[in-house]
DNA sequence: GGTCATCGTTAGAGCGCTCCAATCGTTGGA
DNA sequence: TCCAACGATTGGAGCGCTCTAACGATGACC
C-alpha cells in the first residue's frame, strides 16, 4: 500500500535522489542512459511524484483553485471548461470547489482551498463577502468573474451587462415591441448592471421601462410573470434576468395560455445549454465565456510572474443569439 | 506577500513551534493561557496552517478527490453536492476535477489528482479504461459511481438500471402502450444494463422490444427519432437513454408535428433538473443520488479506516417520477 | 524527604521533494 | 603536462508541518 518514493527509485536505478528529481522535472542536463535507467525504475515501481511534497519544496504552487458558486447552473460548466484548458496550458492544475450558493459555504470552500496555498484563486460569480476576497488577495492572486469588486488586489472579468441588456432591448424594439418588462435578478451578481442597461436602453428608444422584481431561478421567473398577469400589467415582451429565469417565465406564460413568440416574446441571458435546447430555443444574450475563462487564468499568471501589481478590469462585450422565442409585434 | 509560518506564530507568542502545532490541532493538553496567547498571535499574523505541509508530515491525507466526467450534465451536480456534504462530515476536503468526457482527459485528471495523494478517489460515471482504475486502486481507495467494475480494489455504487427500465416499461404498458421503443445509450455508462432491463420487461408484458441505437446526448435523441419516423417504425412511446436524450427526442417529435403525450409518450432517465422544469415536465426514472453520494464517501471512509478490504457493490433502487410527457394510449 | 505519576511543554527527527553548492570525470587549449 | 572549463552527478540543507520521546515542574503518597 505504501507508495514508492524518489529514494526507492534512486536506489533501484543506482543513482542519487537528486538525479531522479532532475529526470522527473525533465531537466536537459541528464545523460540519456541515466534518464532511461531512472524512467525504467520508476515504471517498474509504479512511481509518480508526490505533488504536495514537490510544492512544499519548491515554495511555489501549480494549483489553480477555482470556486464555483452553483454547480447546478450550466452557465458555469463552460467557464470552468475554459479555465481548465487555459490552466493546463499555463502548467497549472485546476482544483474545483463549490460553496452551494451560500456565503458561509463559499467562505469555507475558500479557506480550505487557501490551505493548499494555491498559485491563484478564481471565483465564479461569488456571493462571499468582499472582506474574504480582500483577505485572500493579500497572499494570493485573486480573480473574480462576473462580480464587480473594487479591491486593488483583486482582478475582475465581467461581461458588459449594460450592453447585454441594450442588445435585448434594441432587438425587441426593432421587432416593434413597446411594452417590455425586465425581470430583475435581485441580489444576484451583475443584476443591477443589467437592470440599469435595460432602463437606459428603453429610455433611449423613448419607451417606458418596467422592472419587475425577480431572481436568478426558474421559480422566480414563473412567479414574476404570474404577478404581472394578475396585475394586468400590459406587456408583449420580457427581458429575463437569466436563462433559468426565462425558462420559468416561459412556463408561466404557457400556463396562462399565452403563445411564444406570437403573444409574448422572451429574451434570456447567458446562453446556457438550456437556451440552446431545440425544445426551448430561447433568444438570449451570449457572454464570451471561453474568453472570460482564458482572461481569468491570464490575470492569475501575470500576477504570479510579477508582471503586474495593479488590478485588471476586463469587461467583455456580449452578443445576441436570436432563436425562436422572439418575434414581430 | 510571504505567508506567516508556524515558527512566526511561535516566536510572537513566546512558545515553541510544537506548542503552536498542538493548538492548531485543538489538542486538549495545552494550558488555557498558552492557547489564548497562540491564537492571538495567529490572528495578529493572519496565520492559517499550510494544508500540504500538514499532510506531508502526517503521512495521511484529508483530501477526497472526485472526478466528474461531464460538468455539463446536471445529473452530476446533485451527486457532487451529496458527496461534498458527506465528505465534510467525514472531515475530508473535496477537490473536483473533470475529464471533459474524454478518456484521455479523465486519465490526465486522475493522474494529477493522485499526485496529491488523496485519501480516496471517487469517479462519477468514468469512461477511463479499467486499467487506470486498477492502478489507482493499488494505493488509494477508489469508488466508481454509475459504472460497473469487477476489480477487487474498486468499490461501486450504481442504480439498478434493469429495474429502472422496468419501471418505465411497466408504466407505459399500464397506460396501454404496446409499441414502445428504447433509445439506447451506446457506449455510455450503464446503458447496456438499461437496455437489458427494457428488453426483459417488454417480453414480460408479452410485447416485442424495439431498440434504436442512440447516445447520451440531445442530438443523439433527436437523430434517433428522426430515423424512426423516416423508417416508418410504428411507436407510441419512447424510453429514452437519459433525460438529455429524451429532450432531443421531444424536439424531433415536435418538429414532426407529433404531440406529447397525445401522440407519443416519452420517459427519460436520471430525473435531472432539466426534467423537472415545468416547461419540460418529463416523466423520468429517478436515482437516489443523494444516497449514492453518501454511500460513495462511506465506502472510502471504511477503506481508510481499514475496516474493510473486500469490495462493496451497492446497487440502489430507482423510482419513477410521473410528469406530463406520458399519457394513455 | 524521597519516589513516582502527571501534566504541560519542547527539541529534534522526519515526511518527499527541490535546489544550491560542491564534486567528479572529461576535454581542450596553452 | 598542466589547468581551466565544462557537463553530469551528488550531498545536504531546507520547505512547513507532525510526532515521538524526553524534559522540568508540580503535587501526591508513603
The CATH number of the domain holding residue B175 is 3.40.50.2300
**Do residue A30 and residue A147 come from a single domain?**
no
Q: Give the model confidence (pLDDT) of A222-268 as tens digits.
A: 999 999 999 999 999 999 999 999 999 999 999 999 999 999 999 99
How many Å apart are B146 CA and D19 C1'?
40
- Whether A285 and A246 have beta carbons less than 8 Å apart is answered as no
- Tell me the pairing of strands B120-124 and B154-159: unpaired
Banded model confidence at residue A127, pLDDT cuts 50, 70, 90: confident
Banded model confidence at residue A189, pLDDT cuts 50, 70, 90: confident
Mean pLDDT for back-to-back runs of 10 residues, chain B (329 residues) = 89 95 93 94 93 93 91 87 92 87 88 93 93 93 95 96 98 98 89 96 97 93 97 97 94 94 97 88 96 97 91 97 96
Q: Which of B220, B222, B279 to mutate to test the interface with A (most CBs of A within 10 A)?
A: B279
Residue A327 lies in a domain: no
Task: Over range A265-288, report the average pLDDT.
Answer: 93
Q: How far apart are CA B227 and CA B214, in angstroms?
A: 10
Q: How many CB atoms lie within 10 A of CB A296?
A: 28
Q: How far apart are CA B176 and CA A115, in angstroms?
A: 59
Residue B1 lies in a domain: no
Interface membership of B246 toward A (CB under 8 Å): no
Q: Is the CB of A52 under 7 A from strand D?
A: no
DSSP B62-99: -EEEEEES-TTSTHHHHHHHHHHHHHHHTT-EEEEEE-
Residue B102 lies in a domain: yes
**Do residue B270 and residue B167 come from a single domain?**
yes
Residue whose Cα is closest to the C1' of C12: B18
Q: How far apart are CA A86 and CA A278, in angstroms?
A: 30
DSSP A249-276: HHHHHHHTT--TTTT-EEEEES--HHHH
| Structural domain of B36 | 6-49
Q: Is the CB of B34 under 7 A from strand D?
A: no
Residues of A in contact with B135 (CB under 8 A): 46
Q: Which residue of A has its CA nearest to B55?
A: A52
Q: How many CB atoms lie within 10 A of CB A283?
A: 24
Tell me which nucleotides of strand C come within 7 A of a protein CB.
Answer: 7-12, 14-20
Residue A320 lies in a domain: no
**Do residue A151 and residue A44 come from a single domain?**
no
**Do residue A218 and residue A126 come from a single domain?**
no
Domain count, chain B: 3
**Do residue A208 and residue A282 come from a single domain?**
yes
Banded model confidence at residue A1, pLDDT cuts 50, 70, 90: low
Q: Give the model confidence (pLDDT) of B255-282 as tens digits.
A: 999 999 999 999 999 999 889 888 889 9
pLDDT of residue B99: 82
What percentage of chain A exceeds 70 in pLDDT?
100
Q: Of all helices (H) and strands (E), which one includes residue B194?
A: helix B191-204
**Do residue A78 and residue A227 come from a single domain?**
no
Residue B198 lies in a domain: yes
Q: Is B279 in contact with A280 (Cβ distance < 8 A)?
A: yes
Q: Give the model confidence (pLDDT) of A9-51 as tens digits.
A: 999 999 999 999 999 999 998 999 999 999 999 999 999 999 9
How distant, in Å, are the alpha carbons of A123, A274, B4, B216 from that of B249?
36, 15, 58, 11
**Do residue A179 and residue A253 come from a single domain?**
yes
pLDDT of residue A72: 82
pLDDT of residue A267: 98
b/e map B14-25, b = 16+ CB within 10 Å: ebeeebbbbbbe
pLDDT of residue B1: 57
Residue A282 lies in a domain: yes
Q: Which of A5, A8, A52, A107 to mutate to test the interface with B (most CBs of B within 10 A)?
A: A52
Listed residue (A270, A264, A235, A233) closest to A251, CA to CA? A264
Interface membership of A95 toward B (CB under 8 Å): yes
Amino acid at each position: 500500500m505504501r507508495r514508492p518514493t524518489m529514494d526507492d527509485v534512486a536506489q533501484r536505478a543506482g543513482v542519487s535522489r537528486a538525479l531522479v528529481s532532475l529526470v522527473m522535472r525533465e531537466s536537459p542536463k541528464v545523460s540519456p542512459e541515466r534518464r532511461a535507467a531512472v524512467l525504467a525504475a520508476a515504471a517498474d515501481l509504479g512511481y509518480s511524484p508526490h505533488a504536495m511534497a514537490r510544492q512544499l519544496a519548491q515554495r511555489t504552487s501549480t494549483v489553480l483553485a477555482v470556486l464555483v458558486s452553483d454547480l447546478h447552473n450550466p452557465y458555469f460548466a463552460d467557464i470552468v471548461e475554459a479555465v481548465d484548458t487555459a490552466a493546463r496550458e499555463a502548467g497549472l492544475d485546476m482544483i474545483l470547489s463549490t460553496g452551494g450558493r451560500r456565503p458561509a459555504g463559499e467562505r469555507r470552500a475558500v479557506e480550505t482551498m487557501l490551505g493548499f496555498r494555491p498559485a491563484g484563486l478564481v471565483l465564479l460569480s461569488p456571493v462571499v463577502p468582499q472582506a474574504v476576497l480582500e483577505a485572500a488577495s493579500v497572499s494570493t492572486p485573486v480573480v473574480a468573474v462576473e462580480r464587480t469588486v473594487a479591491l486593488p488586489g483583486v482582478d475582475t472579468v465581467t461581461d458588459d451587462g449594460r450592453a447585454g441588456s441594450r442588445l435585448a432591448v434594441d432587438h425587441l424594439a426593432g421587432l416593434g415591441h413597446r411594452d417590455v418588462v425586465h425581470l430583475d435578478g435581485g441580489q444576484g451578481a451583475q443584476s443591477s448592471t443589467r437592470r440599469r442597461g435595460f432602463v437606459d436602453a428603453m429610455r433611449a428608444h423613448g419607451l417606458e421601462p418596467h422592472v419587475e422584481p425577480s431572481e436568478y431561478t426558474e421559480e422566480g421567473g414563473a412567479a414574476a410573470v404570474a404577478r404581472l398577469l394578475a396585475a394586468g400589467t400590459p406587456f408583449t415582451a420580457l427581458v429575463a434576468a437569466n436563462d433559468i429565469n426565462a425558462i420559468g417565465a416561459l412556463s408561466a406564460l404557457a400556463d396562462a395560455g399565452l403563445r411564444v413568440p406570437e403573444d409574448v416574446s422572451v429574451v434570456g441571458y447567458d446562453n446556457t445549454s438550456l437556451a440552446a435546447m431545440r425544445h426551448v430555443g430561447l433568444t438570449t444574450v451570449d457572454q464570451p465565456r471561453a474568453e472570460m475563462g482564458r482572461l481569468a487564468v491570464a490575470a492569475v499568471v501575470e500576477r504570479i510572474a510579477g508582471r503586474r501589481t495593479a488590478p485588471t478590469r476586463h469587461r467583455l462585450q456580449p452578443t445576441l443569439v436570436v432563436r425562436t422565442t422572439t418575434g414581430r409585434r
